[in-house]
Amino acid sequence: MSVLLETSAGDITIDLFVQDAPTCCENFLKLCKIKYYNYSPIYNVQPSFSFQTGDPIGPESKDSDGGSSIWGLPDGVTKRTSRPEKRTFKPEFSSKRKHTDRGRVSMATTASKVNPDERLASSQFIITLGDNLDQLDGKAAIFGEVVEGFDALEKINSAFVDQNGRPLQDIRILHTVVLDDPYDDPAGLVEPPSSPPPSAEQRATVRIAHDEVLQENTDPEQLEKLRREREARAQALTLELIGDLPFADVTPPEQILFVCKLNPVTRDEDLELIFSRFGKILSCEVIRDKKTGDSLQYAFIEFANKEDCERAYFKMQGVLIDDHRIHVDFSQSVSKLSADWRNNTNSKTARSRGGFGGIDSLQQRKQYRSDDRGKDGRSRHYDYVFDKRAKPDDPDEDGGGRERKRSRSPRRERYDDDRRDDRRGGRDERRRDDRHRERSRDRHRSGRY
């Protein structure tokens, strides 16, 4: 019977001693099955001796209850037991199983409050990092051994730890896979359909995340700055995935002002005249309802450069326009409104800047230029060719129908003439034969009678 532990230090495969410790093996297998150990921290690391895990929250957390056996029916998601009176159980101690080799797996035990000579276990277990650790015999109940993943044990053994034996950078059990389970499920056991995410209590115990890349000799302030930048990029990527941003690295425009609390009677040209004293304005538009055309009482003003936009922001905040005290802000605080407006005004801005795409040094190719068309909207160079003739039902045209002419080959005309001659000659011959038969019949009749 085997279990695979996927840890942040590597995968560890454990074979269980089902014959020697059936109760411990059943407890361990079922806790793995309900994902109870997922995101459990590794702690109490003693180099070349052992490390401990199995408390899903961690012994240093005030929210930890020390773990529970499977008979306490703990929840695989919240890690809370529903039967506290059965949090612990009595493990088996095999006389022939000792902590003689590296990679022994045993349940961590504690003395019973009722009987000090009796030892109890719950969910926490120990894996040895050295050989001949007879100090653990009789205190830790062996139920398995590591058969694969000794490189992961070496990483844990060489990890930097604090005075309590906890790694400075988290090492956690990420996932558990039961390879073979011979036991029936206890009554009331609920297996989650998928691996649950870390609980809030587990996330609160994170010191340095197991997947965080550390940089040596880096200032703590710089590390904090890098962490915030990573969070910002992650949030931007999330907005891109849900469609709120066109791409994750989008930057807000710096020369566009958002003006709100306008009087409904304020027009585009009025607003442009007032703000134009700060610099050249590329576009100014009061946003209106698409159906009614009524002002929505906010506008976007795009300046030619950032400095003019900033001066207008500081000078026009709270200014009275048409008996309304306006509010001015940069467009990044209302990026969604700005994006909608931008889609409708790109062409206006490009035309006001000149050139092609707002760049004076570029020119659009001639075959696509709008000024190549005449007043009637048709191109001066190429046009469609239509055959304009009278329609069949047009009463104004002579004939009442449409004459259809076709060109013919001279060879075909000669061929048709020959066919007509052949047909005409054949008819003449048949006509002569008919006359000859009639005359013969008449002569025969006259001679007979």
Whether 129 maps to a domain, the answer reads: yes
Question: pLDDT at position 194, please?
Answer: 83
Same domain, 188 and 77: yes
Question: pLDDT at position 332, please?
Answer: 57
Question: pLDDT at position 272, please?
Answer: 92
Same domain, 305 and 174: no
Alpha carbons within 13 A on the beta-carbon side of 381: 7
Measured between alpha carbons, how far is 170 from 40 in angstroms, rounded to an integer?
10
Question: pLDDT at position 333, please?
Answer: 46
Give the CATH number for residue 191: 2.40.100.10
Same domain, 240 and 166: no
Of 323, 353, 383, the position where a domain reaches its end is 353
Residue 256 β-bridge partners: 302
Contact 60, 163 (CB under 8 A): no
Whether 290 maps to a domain, the answer reads: yes
Same domain, 89 and 237: no
Question: pLDDT at position 232, please?
Answer: 74
Whether 59 maps to a domain, the answer reads: yes
Of 320, 353, 386, the position where a domain reaches its end is 353
Beta strands in 17-56 (DSSP E): 40-41, 43-46, 50-53
Same domain, 332 and 195: no
The sign of the dihedral angle between the CA atoms of 333, 334, 335, 341 is: negative
Same domain, 141 and 261: no
Domain that holds residue 229: 215-250
Whether 188 maps to a domain, the answer reads: yes
Measured between alpha carbons, how far is 254 from 252 in angstroms, rounded to an integer?
6
> Structural domain tally of the chain?
3
Could you please report the per-residue DSSP string of 85-138? GGS-B-----TT--S-STTEEEEEEEE-SS-TT-EEEEEEEEEESSS--GGGTT
Same domain, 195 and 105: yes
Question: pLDDT at position 169, please?
Answer: 92
pTM of the model: 0.50
Whether 159 maps to a domain, the answer reads: yes
Question: pLDDT at position 209, please?
Answer: 84
Of 299, 320, 353, the position where a domain reaches its end is 353
Question: pLDDT at position 186, please?
Answer: 87
Other residues' Cβ atoms within 10 Å of the Cβ of residue 76: 19
Same domain, 193 and 61: yes
Contact 33, 191 (CB under 8 A): yes
Same domain, 189 and 138: yes
Measured between alpha carbons, how far is 296 from 146 in angstroms, rounded to an integer?
70
Same domain, 41 and 178: yes
Same domain, 107 and 227: no
Give the CATH number for residue 348: 3.30.70.330
Whether 36 maps to a domain, the answer reads: yes
Whether 56 maps to a domain, the answer reads: yes
Question: pLDDT at position 427, please?
Answer: 59
Question: pLDDT at position 412, please?
Answer: 57
Question: What CA–CA distances, in Å, run from 320 to 213, 261, 316, 328?
Answer: 54, 10, 9, 12
Measured between alpha carbons, how far is 123 from 109 in angstroms, rounded to an integer?
10
Same domain, 219 and 271: no
> In a structure prediction context, what are the per-residue pLDDT tens digits for the chain, which is 449 residues long?
799 999 999 999 999 999 999 999 999 999 999 999 999 999 999 999 999 999 999 998 888 989 999 999 888 888 888 888 999 999 999 988 999 999 999 999 999 988 988 999 999 999 999 999 999 999 999 999 999 999 999 999 999 999 999 999 999 999 999 988 888 888 888 888 888 889 888 988 998 888 777 655 667 777 777 777 777 777 766 665 665 555 555 556 778 888 999 999 999 999 999 999 999 999 898 998 888 989 999 998 989 888 999 999 999 999 999 999 999 988 754 444 455 555 665 555 555 555 544 444 454 454 444 445 555 555 555 555 555 555 555 455 454 445 555 555 555 555 566 666 555 555 566 666 666 666 666 555 555 44
Whether 226 maps to a domain, the answer reads: yes
